[in-house]
Structure 1
Amino acid sequence: MTPSAQSRPQPSRESILQQLQDDDIKFLRLQFTDILGHTKNVEVPRAQFAKALSGDVTFDGSAVQGFTRVEESDMLLSPDLSTFLVYPQFSREEGERGKVARLICDVTLPDGAPFTGDPRHVLKEQVKRAAALGFEMYVGTEPEFFLFERGPNGEGTTVTHDKAGYFDLAPIDRGERIRREIAGRLVSMGFEIEASHHEVAPGQHEIDFRYSPALEAADRIATFKFVVKRTALEHGLLASFLPKPIAGVSGSGMHCHLSLFRGGQNVFDDPAGEHGLSVTAHQFVAGLLDHAEGMTAITNPLVNSYKRLVPGFEAPVNIAWSTSNRSALVRIPAKRGPSTRAELRMPDPSCNPYLALAAMLAAGLDGIERELEPPPAIQRNIFKMTVREKRHHRVKELPADLREAVDELEKDEVIAAALGEHVMDNYVAAKRAEWREYSAAVHQWELDRYLDLV
């Protein structure tokens, strides 16, 4: 995969104002993301467009989890003009209210300085770090999601929209029309979609993005989730990115294909290298493996994430790499040349895309800077290896639950430094609280198992 020869021209404030007028846009959404990965927005009417484009719209940061305290709550939304787009019409009613456009914003302090708790800022800092080393990371993602029926009062259920399986066609695959609608809307917004298909589990779907620079990829993931949920809502369905909504079937992942470029050339490619990979590629993979435990709390952030990371459902639990099978944490797809890349397989779509990609980039760059060597690639099915065989090949496992994952995050100085003190403190506190709440709850499984027995 090679970067596009031509990048989109950077729009100016004046050209956006003109387009807003020409397209008769009624509302402009100023979008940002909180520490936990929830997309937020402040919507302004036409009379405020000029003010919004100047970065003069304030909001109460103390109302957003993990941002600021009440006594220091005023924050500004600084729009990234390159992210301007017009949303498609999701419904007739919405069309009658007027067109809506959006800009993704960086969060700044009142004096214009970047807010260190802004996840987008965290990723931008790692992108700068890579650039200082002469690299640019490109990312292609494969997010999965479920489509569920809604109950009589509109509430969500886990009744799947269909009973289809991997790569099935309509009429068994009842989600085909919705996937096409989602893909069409994304394409109209400037996305490049490589493929879409039904996934393994009933009601489960996947839409794959063409690679793009890391920051753009994170922006696209955030927008993609909104479009999927909004389109499903129009069809009376619930779209869920929960990693494991149904026991006994495959969960939803978000495999990330990572590559580094320098001067338009893929630096992972080396026909003379082992497995056709460069020394840089080996070092980057070694960094991913070395920090896998530490970044799992970021790439797999929910209590529910660890219900997916269990043996038997193709989700990776083994910290190893391979060039031939999907049981390893990192897989090197077969194509070489410009398409040479490393596929990280444990992330799930509930993650904050900015923090997750920042952690991946930080891990890979650390491997390069420290000139790490990965262990030998394992070409066998790791799921079928014995405990003794795994020990022989130095194969460790990912954290088993969120508490263990947060413990590992706090030990990992490289990932912690990449996130920054503000994000680390608030993220860890939120996840510790989530685990305590989960641990104190009485679950139906416990009642079914023990109520009559003891």
Structure 2
Amino acid sequence: MEPGPAQQWGDARRTAARLDAEHVRAIALTWVDNAGIARTKTVPTARLAPAVQRGVGMSPVFDVFTSDDAITASAHLGGPDGDLRLFPDLERVTVLAAQPGWAWAPVDRYDQLGTPHPGCQRQFARRMVDRAADAGLVLEMGFETEWVVTRGPEAGGRPDGPADADDALDHPCAGPAYGMTRVVELSDYLRDVAEALALQDIDVLQLHPEYAPGQFEVSTASADPLRAADELVLVRETVRAVSLRHGLRASFAPSVVAGQVGNGCHLHLSLHRGERSLHRAQDAEWGLDPDAVRFLGGVLEAMPALLAVGCPSPASYLRLGPSVWAGAYQCWGVENREAALRLVTGAPGDPDGGHAEIKPFDAAANPYLAVGAVIAAGLHGLSTGAALPPPVTGDPGVLGVRERARRGIVRLPSSLTESTDRLAESAVLREAMGEVLYGAVIAVRRAEAAHFADSEPEEIAAATRWRY
């Protein structure tokens, strides 16, 4: 969306009038920073049209905020100088079902002269979608969102208790993993989550209990990558709002309790040329069209660097271990949930079935950075003719070191410092992001790693638990 075109004034006035008729009095305008935190400026509904025409001011320093609100600096960003304008995307304005009187819209960021801000993550994602289109590819993406709910302080819960105790968090139910017990005990809560998402036109595929205590997951239908990233932001904040209305508190942190299974945010993607799925090539091995092989080969090749985008917190590496279905090894497999890249074959005969899943990513990731970086890596693989090695079956974590070496199975980075080093070496992602955005991401990752360098796992989990 171009900033403030005159013809949008009328559309914004009509949207504001519709919102006012629905008793919406304020609109949250959100962007997601490089630490993965959703930040906001809010405007009264009556000010929507001026916001669309002239934008809403904010400082560019937010691009170098860390998750604990400390401020670092890059070569291009940092300090008190400068200003940007936030322009809401009118097409994405959504009335918030769990926050009466409120609406939401994502923003694109520009400078005061109307030039796109080179650090805008949402515009980075859009540029990568456009690059894919120029290569004749249409991508669809979708996310699985995992979270843990606890009783809030007002309900007598202990959300900030010691993270190393088994009962540190007061969960509203103690049912088995994936157990119907959790659905029964929290049926009103889950119904309200489903209803709120439906009212906001979020197409939910599944909503169910997960593995860890108090953990749930919602999977949403695939969409174009930019919309998928928008919807992920909206899903998280909707779950958070519904949780609060039920006296609960939701954490999307990668590691809620150190030593327990953490929250992932798996990214699913499918590739098409026009209406033709590249996951349904007749007589092709694994059903993959050669272009799909090259694209996914590029993603797998870039996975160590992509971890600094999709696993951006020191807490991410408390979750990213072997043999917990997090995808700790740089390998791929057909329906293998231990592989970093899982090929989902889909039902036979389904012409739209089949896609790939990136397992390591978690909810600390900025979704716009995630989808943009994955597309950039895949397009590089497409242009260079990347290949996929033989698929891995079973759990690579139980293989001996020599056997993994023989098969070429490499452990992915096990710390934020290591993955950031790999990102710093990636000419592909540097070119795709541009110097300003790339430099800010590196600076934030270095600052996060340094801040927690001497922290124990329990301290890291406790410090990040309620930041996401």
Aligned partner of 1:28: which letter?
I
Aligned residue for 2:217, secondary structure, equals strand
**Deviation string for 1:317-345 (max 9, x for gaps)?**
11111113212111111316311211111
Shift of 1:159: 2.8
Aligned to 1:150: 152
Relative to structure 2, which stretch is displaced further, 41-50 or 233-242?
41-50
Shift of 1:68: 4.6
Aligned to 1:165: 176
Q: 1:75 aligns with which of 80, 84, 88?
A: 84
CA distance in 2, matches of 1:369, 1:208: 31
Alpha-carbon contact 2:183-2:209 (below 8 Å) kept? no
After superposition, the Cα gap between the structure-2 partners of 1:268 and 1:12, relative to the gap in structure 1 and judged at 3 Å, is: farther
CA distance in 2, matches of 1:21, 1:285: 46
Shift of 1:279: 0.6
Aligned to 2:71: none
Relative to structure 2, which stretch is displaced further, 429-438 or 44-53?
44-53
Alpha-carbon contact 2:158-2:170 (below 8 Å) kept? no
- Structure 2 length normalisation: TM-score? 0.86
CA distance in 2, matches of 1:418, 1:84: 28
Alpha-carbon contact 2:173-2:182 (below 8 Å) kept? no
Structure number with greater CO (CA < 8 Å, separation at least 6) is: 2
Aligned residue for 1:212, secondary structure, equals coil
2:261 aligned with 1:250: yes
Task: Show structure 2 runs of 5+ residues with no match.
Answer: 1-9, 66-75, 161-168, 460-468
Aligned residue for 1:163, secondary structure, equals coil
After superposition, the Cα gap between the structure-2 partners of 1:81 and 1:272, relative to the gap in structure 1 and judged at 3 Å, is: same
CA distance in 2, matches of 1:114, 1:403: 30
Aligned to 1:23: 22
Aligned partner of 2:173: which letter?
D
Q: 1:275 aligns with which of 286, 294, 299?
A: 286
2:382 aligned with 1:373: no
2:452 aligned with 1:438: yes
Alpha-carbon contact 1:268-1:280 (below 8 Å) kept? no
Aligned partner of 2:390: which letter?
P
2:227 aligned with 1:216: yes
RMSD: 2.3
Aligned partner of 2:429: which letter?
I
Relative to structure 2, which stretch is displaced further, 331-340 or 313-322?
331-340
CA distance in 2, matches of 1:317, 1:183: 32
2:52 aligned with 1:53: yes
Alignment of 1:258-407 (within 5 A): 258-335=269-346, 337-407=351-421
- Structure 1 length normalisation: TM-score? 0.88
Shift of 1:401: 0.7
CA distance in 1, matches of 2:133, 2:23: 39
**Deviation string for 1:35-94 (max 9, x for gaps)?**
22221222222432221232433233345645954564221112212101111143xxxx
Aligned to 1:451: none
Query: Percent same amino acid among aligned pairs?
Result: 28
Aligned partner of 2:380: which letter?
D
Alpha-carbon contact 1:316-1:329 (below 8 Å) kept? yes
Alignment of 1:184-203 (within 5 A): 184-203=195-214
Alpha-carbon contact 2:148-2:251 (below 8 Å) kept? yes
Aligned residue for 1:207, secondary structure, equals strand
Aligned partner of 1:17: which letter?
A
After superposition, the Cα gap between the structure-2 partners of 1:291 and 1:64, relative to the gap in structure 1 and judged at 3 Å, is: closer
Aligned to 1:229: 240
Aligned to 2:31: 32
Alpha-carbon contact 1:33-1:118 (below 8 Å) kept? no
**Deviation string for 1:281-319 (max 9, x for gaps)?**
111221111000011011001101001111232211111
Aligned partner of 2:309: which letter?
I
Aligned to 1:448: none
Relative to structure 2, which stretch is displaced further, 170-179 or 131-140?
170-179
Aligned partner of 1:375: which letter?
P
Aligned partner of 1:396: which letter?
V
Aligned partner of 1:258: which letter?
L
Alpha-carbon contact 2:298-2:380 (below 8 Å) kept? yes
Shift of 1:232: 1.3
CA distance in 1, matches of 2:219, 2:191: 12
Alpha-carbon contact 1:255-1:344 (below 8 Å) kept? yes
Task: Show structure 1 runs of 5+ residues with no match.
Answer: 1-10, 446-454
After superposition, the Cα gap between the structure-2 partners of 1:30 and 1:442, relative to the gap in structure 1 and judged at 3 Å, is: closer
CA distance in 2, matches of 1:408, 1:63: 24
Aligned residue for 1:145, secondary structure, equals strand
After superposition, the Cα gap between the structure-2 partners of 1:195 and 1:443, relative to the gap in structure 1 and judged at 3 Å, is: closer
Shift of 1:173: 5.4
CA distance in 1, matches of 2:458, 2:208: 34
Aligned residue for 1:140, secondary structure, equals strand
Shift of 1:245: 1.5
Aligned partner of 1:284: which letter?
F
